[in-house]
Amino acid sequence: MTLPMIAVRGQLLQNASLKKMSRLGVGGCADYLFTPEDMDDLVTFLRKLPDDIPITVLGAMSNVLVRSGGIRGVVIMLGSWFKNIYEENGILEAGAALSCAELSVFAVDHNLGGLEFLMGIPGSIGGAIRMNAGCYGAEIFDILQEYESITPDGSVKWVKANQVEHGYRYTNLPEGHIITRAWFKANVGVDYSISRKLHEIAEARRNSQPLDKRSCGSAFKNPAGMKAWQLISDAGCRGMRLGGALVSEKHCNFIVNDGNATPEDIEKLGEQIIEKVYDKFGIKLEWEIIRIGERSH
């Protein structure tokens, strides 16, 4: 496909590889990759983009697997302008491209509590809101007050968190809407050591997860009242391998790139896990990793 001439101040690349941006170190190319300079640049681009050109928004790609055939249309990734962060009276304003860990550290530095769990979420603020990411007993919608987004036609909207239907790793946010910033409520004057709690969460991650390997974090959602890793382990999948894809020995709900995996290796290994767990327990695991793009021919 060919994109019409649109003047931008940011970066617009054709046939752009997404492999290096992926946490898994795999993936095909985007027809076009647009990184806007700022909010005005993004709005202008969207208003001039023809309606028949598909848009895909990617953040830190911490839970995204891009198939080898790549992504048609335009991929939008927010840049440094969307990583700003401010605080006033316990309300934190954060750009959607800011990492969850950076927001957590900022809160600690300002003696604000309630955001420590974000240290355990490897993605960006925008992606975490879209999937209601969480860990260690907390979810991002527990602290989210409001977010700003841009619609595919370039309109800007502000949405209160209590207007969004959400649940475990789920929201009903409209597809194609690009989250650009958000506001969070922190706890002021907490009666515990915020920095100690943050350190404990970071230490727990290091001890329980294969952080030295390329992965997208948890591959599968936890079924109600159960742990996906336990089902995977009990089904005999710990250490399973397909090509360069490996079920982590350290945390078997992680599928890691052991050096030369392809997107197909990772996805096929995941499907084998789903089949083995279902055959043993009658429970069908649901992917937590978002798999997008076309399969190679």
43 with 137, same domain: the answer is no
183 with 89, same domain: the answer is yes
Domain-embedded: residue 199: no
Residue that finishes a domain, picked among 150, 173, 188: 188
Domain-embedded: residue 33: yes
112 with 181, same domain: the answer is yes
Question: Catalytic site residue 47?
Answer: no
Side-chain-facing half-sphere of 144: CA atoms under 13 Å: 33
Residues 110-136: tens digit of each pLDDT:
989 999 999 989 899 999 999 999 988
* Among 71-80, 183-192, 245-254, 270-279, the least confident range: 183-192
Please, are residues 95 and 81 in contact by the beta-carbon 8 Å criterion? yes
46 with 107, same domain: the answer is no
Catalytic position from the list 72, 169, 238, 291: 169
Q: 118 vs 121, 200, 258, CA distance in Å?
A: 5, 12, 27
Catalytic position from the list 218, 233, 248, 267: 218
Question: Catalytic site residue 267?
Answer: no
Catalytic position from the list 116, 139, 267, 288: 288
96 with 171, same domain: the answer is yes
Which range marks the domain in which residue 288 is found? 211-292
pLDDT at 1: 67
Residues 183-229: tens digit of each pLDDT:
999 988 776 777 888 888 889 888 888 888 999 999 999 999 999 99
Amino acid at 179: I
pLDDT at 191: 65
Instruction: Identify the CATH number of the domain in which residue 39 sits.
Output: 3.30.43.10
28 with 40, same domain: the answer is yes
Residue that finishes a domain, picked among 37, 52, 80: 80
16 with 55, same domain: the answer is yes
- Alpha carbons 246 and 49: distance in angstroms, whole number: 40
| CA-based nearest residue to 294, from 23, 72, 20, 63 | 72
With residue 229 as reference, give the H or E element that holds it: helix 228-234
- Alpha carbons 265 and 83: distance in angstroms, whole number: 33
Question: Catalytic site residue 130?
Answer: no
- Burial class for 5, CB neighbours closer than 10 Å (0-12, 13-18, 19+): exposed
97 with 163, same domain: the answer is yes
| Number of structural domains in the chain | 3
Q: How confident is the model at residue 297 (pLDDT cuts 50, 70, 90)?
A: low
Bin 106: left if φ > 0, else alpha if -120 < ψ < 50, else beta. alpha
Instruction: Identify the CATH number of the domain in which residue 151 sits.
Output: 3.30.465.10
Residues 87-114: tens digit of each pLDDT:
999 999 999 999 999 999 999 889 899 9
